[in-house]
A and B are shown apart, each in its own frame.
Chain A
Amino acid sequence: MVFNTCMGLVQDANDAEDVAQEVFIQVYESVEQFKGESKFSTWLYRIAVTKSLDHLRKKKRKKRFAFLQSLFGVNEEEVIQDPEFHHPGVKLENKEQAAVLFKAISKLPDNQKAAFTLHKLEGLSYQEVAEALSTTVSSVESLMHRARGNLRKILTDYYQKNNG
């Protein structure tokens, strides 16, 4: 559950393992702060999402810094683009399309990305997603609506470029 959420958000198996480890250590350290007001799984999801998004932000910052260094010739190494991500749970016939979809998901804003991943990959209901993201059901509905719209736009551009 934690690993799958991290995997869906960070889109890399090794990074997902690192983030999952961080999540469990955080849970271990702050389990006293869990007051039982929400489900334990909701609390776990919340930590997993926060840690995964933090990891993505850190990674993006590092990449930007490496790019700047390469521009000024400090870092001679080439900035490597992320390889295509293949989720191990995706059906074989959908592998290629899922890889394209994951690439599009990575371009979404953080909150849309989290809501879409929790709903689609973890199979959580809107109510559960709302609890995990500490928001209301109506804002999750709006996030999902916007996420779908943005994804459609990104995918349309992608297929127009690749088919045209």
Chain B
Amino acid sequence: MKLPEHIEKQVAETMASLDGTSRAAANPFLYTRIKAAMDAEESGFWSKTASFMTRPIVAVATVLVILLMNSLICINNQDSHSNSNMASQDEDQLLSREYSVASINEETLYTLNEEQP
């Protein structure tokens, strides 16, 4: 459908209305405002800490350290577990030696019992 000529003309004029537009100048106080915001950003302890922590290198390094510590703790736990097993075995042996239970096995117990009456 063909549009009426006057509408086509209006549309074309509107489309061209931004031709030759100059740049909008900012408020003269905008620079002062931005400077103040930057100073506030710079002096804040938490913002400084946050910006440091969110650096990719720092974040990746922190994750790696945590993983490393976790794996070290796991390995140490396994070692100490096997050591504690050995220690408990040693303790048993010591106890048995102290009360001379080790030498008493089923056979000797029976022989002792036989000898008694």
> Which residues of A pack against B, CB within 8 Å?
1, 3-4, 7, 13, 16-17, 20-21, 24-25, 28-29, 87-91, 94, 97-98, 100-101, 104, 120-122, 148, 151-152, 155-156, 159-160, 163
Proximity string of chain B (27-38) to chain A, C-beta cutoff 8 Å, 1 when within and 0 when not: 100100110011
Which residue numbers of B lie inside 8 Å of A, CB to CB?
Answer: 3, 6-7, 10-11, 13-15, 17-18, 20-27, 30, 33-34, 37-38, 41, 51
User: Once bound together, how far apart are the Cα atoms of A138 and B34, in whole Å?
Assistant: 37
In angstroms, Cα B25 to Cα A13, docked, is: 10
Closest approach, in angstroms, between the C-beta of A154 and any C-beta of chain B? 9
Contact A20 B34 (CB under 8 A): yes
User: A159 touches which one: B7, B30, B41 (CB < 8 A)?
Assistant: B7
A21-B34 in contact given A88-B24, A90-B21 (Cβ < 8 Å): yes
Most B CB atoms within 10 A — which of A7, A25, A28, A97?
A: A97
Query: Secondary structure at chain B's binding surface: helix, strand, loop or mixed?
Result: helix
- Count of chain A to chain B residue pairs whose CB atoms are closer than 8 Å in the complex: 86
Q: Contacts A17-B33, A156-B11 given; indicate if A3 touches B18 (C-beta within 8 A).
A: no
Q: Does B21 contact A17, Cβ atoms closer than 8 Å?
A: no
Cβ-neighbour of A1 out of B23, B27, B30 (below 8 A): B23
Between-chain CB contacts (< 8 Å), 11 pairs: A13-B27, A17-B30, A20-B26, A21-B37, A90-B18, A120-B18, A155-B11, A156-B3, A156-B11, A163-B7, A163-B10
Residue of B nearest to A32 (CB): B55
In the bound complex, do residue B17 and residue A90 qualify as a contact, i.e. CB atoms below 8 Å apart? yes
Q: Which of A4, A24, A156, A159 contacts B23 (CB 8 A)?
A: A4
Q: How far is the CB of B20 from chain A (nearest CB, A)?
A: 6
- Known contacts A17-B27, A28-B38; A163/B14 CB under 8 A: no
The 9 closest A-B pairs by CB, nearest first: A97-B17, A3-B26, A89-B22, A94-B17, A98-B17, A97-B14, A4-B23, A155-B11, A89-B21
Task: Tell me if A's interface is mostly helix, strand, loop or mixed.
Answer: helix
Cβ–Cβ contact A25 & B37, under 8 A: yes
Neighbour of B17 across the interface among A4, A21, A24, A101, CB < 8 A: A101
| Contact (Cβ within 8 A) A29 B17 | no
**9 new A-B contacts at CB < 8 Å, known A100-B14, A121-B21:** A3-B24, A7-B24, A25-B41, A28-B38, A89-B21, A89-B24, A148-B15, A163-B6, A163-B7
Is there an interface contact between A21 and B33, defined as CB atoms closer than 8 Å?
A: yes
Give the docked Cα–Cα distance between A98 and B15 (Å). 8
Across-interface contacts of A120 in B (CB, < 8 A): 18, 21
